[in-house]
Structure 1
Amino acid sequence: MHAADTYDYAVIRVVPRIEREEFINAGVILSCQKLGFLGARIALDEARLLALAPGVDLELVRRHLAAIPAICAGHAEAGPIGALHPRGRFHWLTARRSSIIQTSPVHTGRCGDPEATLDRLLAKLVG
């Protein structure tokens, strides 16, 4: 069995009205530098988001959230950010910003399987 490696993660949040600081969790980003892993899972509860902010532009939110896994994977459509080293992409995605899509502070843990850990964190923190 593989020994546990250190990973960093952040929760992806949708903040429809920044001035109110209300948000719902919509995904998780996980980086395990030693294994070269960077991944994201998205699970937006659109009904919950609409209950929080009835006038939110769902299509805009969907597009912004869809960009996160593309950036993690380094896809060409992710532009210059997608060309960064995986750790650079993680830091860019988790940088503090004042926008409709934000992340929590970065947290650290240990795991043997980053894919399984990402799924577990998504279920615990978003699902």
Structure 2
Amino acid sequence: MPASAFEYALLRLVPRVERGERINIGVVLLCRQQRFLGIRIHLDEARIAALWPDLDLVPVREQLHAFEVVCTGGTKAGPIGELPLYERFRWLTATRSTMIQPSAVHCGLCESPQKMLDHIFRQMVLWPGQLVVGATNSRL
């Protein structure tokens, strides 16, 4: 299969927006040519607790779950879930001033968007030696 263009953004946890401190907790990737939208998320609770011991992770998990639902699409995601993949990607990567913030959108070429999503996740979210955890992907 020839290489396809893709776009991705990192998802970052920013518990105290005014301080600007953040850690990468996920990746969302879109490959329109292959009709792929995927998200990978990992909350390193020990690392988060070391940096922000009083942070309540319940609302963080709820917001991340909403991101996964939107990525998957369909009626469970409400009106946003009915949008095309690229519009859901734009919603997921829109600038926010909440605790979950996306990075700038980056682009590249890949043959397999799932493999690229896994690669970016391992390189940018996980620490060396951490296990790779579940994935959410959406296709048309």
TM-score (norm 2): 0.86
Aligned partner of 1:90 in structure 2 is: 89
AA matched with 2:111: G
SS in 1 for 2:96: coil
Name the stretch that deviates more: 48-57 or 15-24.
Answer: 48-57
AA matched with 1:20: R
Aligned partner of 1:49 in structure 2 is: 48
TM-score (norm 1): 0.95
Question: Shift of the alpha carbon at 1:77?
Answer: 2.3
AA matched with 1:114: P
AA matched with 2:121: L
Question: Shift of the alpha carbon at 1:25?
Answer: 0.5
The answer for unaligned runs of 5 or more in structure 2 is: 127-140
SS in 2 for 1:90: helix
Alignment of 1:1-127 (within 5 A): 2-127=1-126
Q: CA RMSD in A?
A: 0.9
AA matched with 1:32: C
The CA distance in 1 between the partners of 2:74 and 2:53, in whole Å, is 33
The CA distance in 2 between the partners of 1:90 and 1:80, in whole Å, is 14
The answer for unaligned runs of 5 or more in structure 1 is: none
The CA distance in 1 between the partners of 2:33 and 2:41, in whole Å, is 24
SS in 2 for 1:20: coil
Quote the sequence identity (%): 49
Question: Shift of the alpha carbon at 1:81?
Answer: 1.3
Structure with higher helix content: 1
The CA distance in 1 between the partners of 2:48 and 2:76, in whole Å, is 27
The CA distance in 2 between the partners of 1:31 and 1:65, in whole Å, is 17
Name the stretch that deviates more: 42-51 or 10-19.
Answer: 42-51
Hey, which bits of structure 1, 4+ residues long, moved more than 4 A?
A: none
The CA distance in 2 between the partners of 1:23 and 1:118, in whole Å, is 21
The CA distance in 2 between the partners of 1:19 and 1:61, in whole Å, is 17
